[in-house]
Amino acid sequence: MSPARAAGLKRSSLALNGILAELGGAVVLCALGLFLCLLAFTLARRLP
């Protein structure tokens, strides 16, 4: 049994938490992409 299920949370609230966690994860991945593009962009301009 997962910790949240053990704590007695309702099934519906669990799904909502899960959806928010997944949406957050996808946004974090996009933010990582933005950072990596910035890094590559800066490196490509600085290097001879």
Partner 1 sequence: MIVKPTLEDARLILSYTGKVVIGVAALLAVPILAALAAGEWDCLVYFSLSLGLSLAVGFLLAALGATDRRPSWMHGMVTAGFSWLVVMAVAALPYWFSGSYLSYLDAMFDVMSGFTTTGLVLIQDLDHAAVSLNMWRHLLTFVGGQGVIVLALAFLVKDSGGGYKLYVGEGKDERLFPSVFHTAKAIWKISLVYLAIGTAALWAAGLAIGLPAGSSFLHALWVYMAAWSTGGFAPMSQNILYYHSALYEAVTAVFFILGSLNFALHHAVWSGDRKELYRNIETASFATTLSVLTLTASWSLSRLGVYPSLAGLVRKAFYQLVSAHTTTGFMSLYPRQLALEWGDLALAAMILAMLVGGSACSTAGGFKGLRVGLIWKAIVQETRRMLKPPSAVFTQSYRYHGKRILSEAQVRSASLIVLMYVAIFFLAAAAGAACGYPFLDAAFESASVTGNVGFSIGITVAGMPDFLKVVYIFNMWAGRLEFMAVLATFAFVAAFFRRKRA
Residue 23 is a binding residue for partner 1 (CB under 8 A): yes
| Closest separation in Å from C-beta 23 to partner 1 | 6
State yes or no: residue 8 binds partner 1 (CB under 8 A).
Answer: no
Contacts of 9 (CB under 8 A, 6+ apart): 17
CB 4 within 8 A of CB 14: yes
Quote the least distance from Cβ 22 to partner 1, whole Å.
6
5 within 8 A of 14, measured Cβ to Cβ: yes
10 binds partner 1 (CB under 8 A): no
5 near partner 1 (CB under 8 A): yes
